[in-house]
Structure 1
Amino acid sequence: MIEAYQQQLIKYYKGYLRDIISGKPFSAVVLRGEKNKPTTTVELHRAIALFQKNEKTAQRRGWTIAWEDWSSKKLGKQKWVSTIIVDTEEDYLHLLQKEEEAAAFKHQLQILLDWQPAIQSFLMDKPERVLDLKIVWSGLQKVVDHLLAHDVSNHYIRSIPVPVHTKFIEAYRPVIFSLLKAIAPEKYTVDSTTLDELLLLKQKPHLYPIRWLDKTIAEQFMHGMEITGVTVDWLKQINWDIKEVWLVENETNLYLIPERKNAIAIFSKGKATHSLKDVPLLAKAQLFYWGDLDEEGYKMLNAMHGYYPHNLQSVFMDETTLLRHAGEMGKQDAVYKTVSLEYLTREEQAAFNILKYHNGRLEQERIRQDYVVEVLGKIS
């Protein structure tokens, strides 16, 4: 029974910390009574002893108890707790055994408010940050001070010249983002959701592995390198006369495609629909797309058909492939939610409908190698 009162004390603690941050003085805590009363004399005496153990006296801190008369059919006339009040901050912390923690909280809070008074709103949101981040506050202060004073838009996140280790900013991205927005809202008015966007940082270029399927043109354009990595910006600028481009979403498949005349294969890493649209090289070549046989894979295929409606053809994403490997079909974790994929071909749509009905997926690695060789050999 006494546990219910103790839980109320614990529940109040976050509000108590917020009051400290805002400068609001401590106000007495009134604890609600327990509806269930003891049913035996033993329970009654044990409960009263526990209540009295924490009762405030001239010699010790604790709570103040108001008792009321209680008539019980089983136990007769008794005294029971009516109201419990915690009058002072010292009493409250004593009951929770948090005197040292509260003192440390106040000390660290004062350091932070002296540094940046505007940090108050950031701390009010999650008061536990004051102590949870205690060992890194010094580093956070150095980083924030530097960012407030300097334009870092010409830097990558790990090249910003601050006196912390190179992974520090990456590790505390969300915290630094929230601190900057709280401390200098007039400076950071950009509608951004990440620190990189807020600071306009340079981004590490995403490299797409390319495999040259024709050694002759590899010699012509890349000095014989069969595999290379390129950015999407670079892809958009080149003007090669390439007959075929193969986009694969599985790195293993990049190496399964046999040599083909005047052709390249690109491992798009699941980013095709985000980055590889409006690429002139892809628009003028015969484009083959080999993606995952699951909901996400067909959504990406549908989008790619929309970007390249006249020259894109899928491979191994048709009904025939799926039925030939029906025994290998598994389940995807999430339930299919996609209703319509308007750009799929009839064969692709048939495969998608089967997968959706079974909430299934066919991993690309489950497609037999002899079947892959057979189908690829028939594509002219």
Structure 2
Amino acid sequence: MTDPSRWTGVEGVRAVVRRRWDDGSLLRAFALREEFTPIDVALRHPSAADLAEHFDAARAWVDAVVRGSRGGRAYRLQRDRIGGRISGATEVPARAVVESHDQAWELLGAAQEAQTFRRVVEASDDDEAPRAWALAHPTATIALADDWGRMLSAFRWLDAHRGSGLYLRQITARSVDTKFVERHRKPLAEMLGVSSAAPRFVRDLGLAAKPQTVRLRFDPAVFGFPSVLSEASFRVDELRTLRVRPSRALVVENEITYLSVPVPPGGVVLWGKGYDADQPASLEWLADVPVSYWGDLDTHGFGILNRVKAWLPQVESVLMDRETLLAHRERWVVEGTPTNAALSRLDAGDQAVYDDLVTDRFGPSVRLEQERIDWSWALARLG
């Protein structure tokens, strides 16, 4: 005897067909008007012994499976005879066969969505890449159906303007603006064969990207500016072209600390902005200048220092030493997501402190944020 709960009901049949919907095979075949491949589902049904033990449950199961076929509109039933001379022979549904797309849509309640998908595919006949994308992502395409005309318009404009150097803001595709492209960047990127990551999307298409900028404070004499100017934000590509040689430079992670530190005579202070420190570090005129880096005393602070050293091997850390760490024990916090990456460019002193943090030598995930360091302590060591 079997447990009645294990008999295959309408939901079991629907689940088999639903898998073909989810993997896209049903929708692709329908959109391409291909011949339907029947879906034959074997039903776990009551046995002869079950009829004696669970007669009412068996009769209810048969009624439910028959009703679920909706008179053959959802599936055709095949029956087997069970029982024999003693208990009498009885026919029960043994297989449910879905023989057409119409039956599949009836069973899934998805006729409207299927017709929508077919219309979208056929509307894309002149656009090979969007059509291929739609066929590869049927359910996602249905979700985009209301916007599909604008998707095609955006695709055509972006494809036609590869390498143009235009900003995305300059898009003139009908009914398309930058917000639409940004909202649908992932499918558009896949159609266009480029990265879906925001910065790389425009770069891969040869469009203009938002310029990278560096904010810095300086001794005006370094740039030959009037004495009333002490701070500016420059485009990195333009700043690189300058021929200047400051006496020294300090890259600072935290903005308020950047604004607070004194500018060395003939020098510059640059805001690193965490992992954006690559931008100031990439300035070629810093290559032969004494440069210091001051970041948070945590594992990611040393990770950023390691990246800065890839550009400027001469960089030395400041206020990221063990003495500073231990002198501010009461100001420690917990680093939320520490790293333990191998940092190959650190010098011996920095590596030792990094190892202390990674191994929790002084406590779990110790972090001393830059802005928590006593200001008089910092000034005495900044020189």
The two structures share one fold, judged by TM-score above 0.5: yes
CA contact (8 A) 1:235 1:281 kept: no
SS, match of residue 375 in structure 1: helix
Q: Is 1:360 aligned to residue 362 of structure 2?
A: no
- Residues in 2 aligned to 1:160 and 1:328: alpha-carbon distance in whole angstroms: 51
Change beyond 3 A, Cα 1:65–1:325: farther
Q: Is 1:124 aligned to residue 127 of structure 2?
A: no
Q: Is 1:315 aligned to residue 326 of structure 2?
A: no
Q: Is 1:25 aligned to residue 35 of structure 2?
A: yes
**For residue 63 of structure 2, what is the amino acid of its counterpart?**
A
**For residue 51 of structure 1, what is the amino acid of its counterpart?**
V
Change beyond 3 A, Cα 1:251–1:142: same
Change beyond 3 A, Cα 1:7–1:273: same
**Which digits, 9 at most, give the CA deviation of each residue in 1:296-330, with x for residues without a partner?**
321221233344333x2212211122222334444
> How far 1:42 sits from its partner (Å)?
3.7
CA contact (8 A) 2:214 2:279 kept: no
Change beyond 3 A, Cα 1:165–1:366: same
Match in the other structure for 2:60:
46
Match in the other structure for 1:166:
178
- Residues in 2 aligned to 1:86 and 1:275: alpha-carbon distance in whole angstroms: 61
- Residues in 2 aligned to 1:238 and 1:127: alpha-carbon distance in whole angstroms: 53
CA contact (8 A) 2:130 2:152 kept: no
Aligned length: 359
Q: Is 1:208 aligned to residue 177 of structure 2?
A: no
- Residues in 1 aligned to 2:269 and 2:44: alpha-carbon distance in whole angstroms: 71
Match of 1:326 among 321, 325, 329: 329
> How far 1:78 sits from its partner (Å)?
5.7
- TM-score between both structures, scaled by the size of structure 1: 0.82
- Residues in 2 aligned to 1:159 and 1:361: alpha-carbon distance in whole angstroms: 48
**Which digits, 9 at most, give the CA deviation of each residue in 1:74-98, with x for residues without a partner?**
x997654421111222222111122
**For residue 41 of structure 1, what is the amino acid of its counterpart?**
F
> How far 1:33 sits from its partner (Å)?
3.0
Match of 1:294 among 276, 298, 313: 298
> How far 1:101 sits from its partner (Å)?
2.2
CA contact (8 A) 1:144 1:180 kept: yes
CA contact (8 A) 2:157 2:171 kept: no
CA contact (8 A) 1:235 1:279 kept: yes
CA contact (8 A) 2:44 2:94 kept: no
- Residues in 2 aligned to 1:77 and 1:309: alpha-carbon distance in whole angstroms: 88
Gaps of 5+ in 1: 182-187
- TM-score between both structures, scaled by the size of structure 2: 0.81
CA contact (8 A) 2:203 2:209 kept: no
Identity, in percent, stands at 20
* Structure 1 moving runs of 4+ over 6 Å: 35-39
SS, match of residue 274 in structure 2: coil
Change beyond 3 A, Cα 1:97–1:272: closer
Match in the other structure for 1:185:
none
- Residues in 2 aligned to 1:76 and 1:319: alpha-carbon distance in whole angstroms: 89
Match of 1:270 among 267, 274, 284: 274
Gaps of 5+ in 2: 1-7
**Which digits, 9 at most, give the CA deviation of each residue in 1:179-215, with x for residues without a partner?**
234xxxxxx9xxxx94323321122211111123x4x
> How far 1:365 sits from its partner (Å)?
5.0
Alignment RMSD: 3.1
Match in the other structure for 1:102:
114
Paired residues for 1:1-380 under 5 Å: 1-2=8-9, 3-13=11-21, 14-34=24-44, 40-55=54-69, 57=71, 61-70=73-82, 79-113=91-125, 115-117=126-128, 119-150=130-161, 153-163=164-174, 164-181=176-193, 194-212=200-218, 214=219, 217=221, 220-221=224-225, 224-271=228-275, 274-277=278-281, 279-310=283-314, 312-334=315-337, 336-339=339-342, 341-358=343-360, 360-364=365-369, 367-368=372-373, 371-380=374-383
